[in-house]
Amino acid sequence: MGRLNAKITKEYDVKGEHPFSTVFDMRRENETKWKKIKRWFSVHLYALDIKYHEVKKYFKNLIRFNKAMWNYCPWDYHCQVELFAYGLEILANHMDRYSNEVDTPRKKKIAAIRELITLLRNGYEDEVNDKYLGAGEENVITHVTEYEDGSIGFETVDEESKKIQEASHKVYREEYQKVRNAYYDRVFAILRGQDDPYGLVEQTQAKIGEKREDETYEEYQKRYENCYYELFDGTGIEGWWD
């Protein structure tokens, strides 16, 4: 085998057409300076078992996620959520501009992705706090205490105020849990997608019925697709690709 390889290499060397000349020949005529630089990097990265397109993708991603990385903190969960939302935003924009998918399901997918981005970035805490935190405590009488270390404490003065506070806190906890549950139910519903993707096919089949005698197969297929896309809501992260 070694002799055969040597023979092939020798024959190409004689003709001046090495089998790997498209990668390793650095002395090509009529090449721009940029192409020569690109070829030089390709050869040396290949020697290090690094592909040129992977390095190119790496620097593209640095630019894409520049803002998210600039504000990233490993100890803050908001940063983890924002990083995910940022990637989803890039995905939605890519699907919107370059996807070859049929318009109806593509637009539904993009709408679902952007709804998820909005949910992730807005959260649920502000909605609960604005509506229920401290609600009904306008007439509560408190005593303000300033401590030696400069901190300030608030203490309820009378029993009536304590009852009002307790009732307000109870309402806040209950509403907080309701809003939180509804928020995460929707987030995970979008990620998970419709409960039974195969059931969607069965629903479509049941809705349109069998092929009619007076229609062609193409007409039946078109009717099936239109019905399927109508039932499909665009959710399900597994289907968000192009």
Domain ranges of the chain: 1-64, 65-239
Q: What is the pLDDT of residue 160?
A: 65
Provide the whole-model pTM.
Answer: 0.67
Q: What is the pLDDT of residue 67?
A: 81
Please give the average per-residue pLDDT across 31-41, as a whole number. Answer: 70
Q: What is the pLDDT of residue 42?
A: 66
Q: What is the pLDDT of residue 140?
A: 54
pLDDT (tens digit, 9 = 90+) per residue, 143-197?
556 666 667 655 655 666 667 667 777 777 888 888 899 999 999 999 998 877 6
Of the listed ranges 9-18, 32-41, 170-179, the least confidently predicted one is: 9-18
C-alpha 127/C-alpha 172 separation (Å) is: 11
Q: What is the pLDDT of residue 136?
A: 55
Q: What is the pLDDT of residue 95?
A: 93
Question: What values do phi and psi take at 156, rounded to 5?
Answer: -70, 135
pLDDT of 115 over the 50 cut: yes
* 128 touches 175 (CB < 8 A): yes
Q: Which residues pair with 152 in a beta bridge?
A: 146
Most confident option among 26-30, 139-143, 207-211: 207-211
pLDDT (tens digit, 9 = 90+) per residue, 47-74?
555 566 677 788 888 888 888 888 888 8
